[in-house]
């Protein structure tokens, strides 16, 4: 799990680049400033993206995005209230206003972008769907999975991709569907399925959580493109721009090696 991502070392850069946001007003920005905190929808426990550390603090790439936005609009990266959401409830939470931004390993798809009343602000991580199997099955390719029972999560692109993949390759499978990553890995470890399918990043993290990580292997095939990124409600252009450019500032600063330690020096370069 990410203890302190490099991107968080330059959070002040985000505030500097977006300091002019206060010159304009819009519903979400007003709400965030009035409540003096950002409500950010995240995964409850996905190592590397959003998970509690030993001190009970959320750490990971997705949570760093939340902190960057808070730094930009509130001047304090710690003014974030993290709302753990599963795959099914995440969009409803955003649509209803329960969260101000969704930063939860969510794939940007045309259907989601055009039918749910939300806008994706960019890509924070490029992922792809893969398969993890028990090592003792002796399977070396996803093309050998005909007839397998496959654990996956409801309300995800993984669920849809599975149907397409097995149909395309003339194979049969039995889906075993869970609501959360924790439930799906527990089902896999308990033997309720032969295969666990999700984003590759999640599979590698889940493999490390097994009592014996060597008991499972992630197969080499990646069967989809999963551009993950934050999302906001449609109809609030200022808030969309703030979240978008907070993310872009993170990406650019990371590429340029800008940190909180050298930001003043960089301003004069």
pLDDT in tens, 114-156: 999 999 999 999 999 999 999 999 999 999 999 999 999 988 8
- Sheet containing 80-84: order of strands: 80-84, 38-42, 101-102, 231-233, 118-120
* The pLDDT value given to residue 156: 87
CB 35 within 8 A of CB 27: no
Which of 71, 129, 93 shows the shortest CA–CA distance to 231?
Answer: 93
Residue 29 has pLDDT above 70, yes or no: yes
Cα 106 from Cα 204, distance rounded (Å): 17
Which helix (H) or strand (E) element contains residue 51?
strand 51-52
Cα 93 from Cα 24, distance rounded (Å): 26
Q: List the chain domain ranges.
A: 6-125+226-267, 129-218
Rg (CA), the chain: 20
Backbone angles phi, psi at 60, to 5 degrees: 140, 175
In 10 A of CB 137, how many CB atoms? 14
Q: List pLDDT tens digits, range 56-103.
A: 999 999 999 999 999 999 999 999 999 999 888 999 999 999 999 999
Q: What is the CATH number of domain 129-218?
A: 3.40.190.10
- Classify domain 6-125+226-267 at the CATH superfamily level: Periplasmic binding protein-like II (3.40.190.10)
Q: List pLDDT tens digits, range 147-190.
A: 999 999 988 889 899 999 999 999 999 999 998 888 999 999 99
Residue 201 has pLDDT above 80, yes or no: yes
What DSSP letter does each residue of 183-246 carry, written as one string? HHHHHHHTTS-SEEEEEHHHHHHHHHHSSSGGGEEE-S-----EEE--EEETT-HHHHHHHHHH
Residues 6+ apart with CB under 8 A from 157: 107, 109, 129, 224, 226
Q: Do 129-218 and 6-125+226-267 have the same topology in CATH?
A: yes
């Amino acid at each position: 799990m990410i203890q302190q991502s490099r991107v968080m070392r330059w959070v002040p850069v985000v505030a500097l680049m977006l300091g002019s946001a206060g010159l304009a007003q819009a519903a979400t920005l007003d709400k965030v400033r009035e409540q003096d905190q950002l409500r950010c929808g995240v995964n409850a426990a996905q190592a590397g993206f959003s998970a509690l550390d030993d001190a009970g603090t959320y750490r990971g790439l997705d949570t760093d995005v939340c902190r960057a936005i808070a730094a930009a609009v509130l001047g304090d990266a710690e003014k974030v209230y993290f709302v753990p959401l599963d795959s099914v409830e995440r969009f409803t939470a955003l649509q209803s206003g329960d969260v101000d931004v969704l930063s939860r390993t969510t794939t940007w798809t045309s259907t989601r972008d055009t039918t749910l009343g939300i806008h994706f602000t960019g890509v924070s991580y490029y992922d792809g769907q893969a398969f993890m199997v028990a090592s003792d099955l002796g399977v070396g390719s996803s093309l050998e999975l005909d007839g397998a029972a496959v654990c996956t999560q409801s309300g995800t692109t993984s669920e849809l991709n599975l149907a397409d993949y097995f149909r395309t390759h003339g194979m049969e499978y039995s889906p075993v569907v869970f609501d959360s990553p924790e439930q799906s890995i527990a089902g896999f470890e308990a033997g309720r399925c032969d295969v666990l399918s999700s984003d590759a990043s999640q599979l590698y993290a889940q493999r490390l959580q097994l009592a014996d990580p060597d008991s499972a292997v992630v197969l080499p095939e990646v069967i989809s493109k999963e551009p993950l990124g934050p999302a906001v409600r449609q109809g609030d252009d200022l808030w969309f721009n703030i979240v978008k450019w907070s993310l872009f500032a993170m990406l650019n600063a990371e590429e340029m090696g800008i940190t909180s330690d050298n930001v003043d020096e960089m301003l004069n370069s």
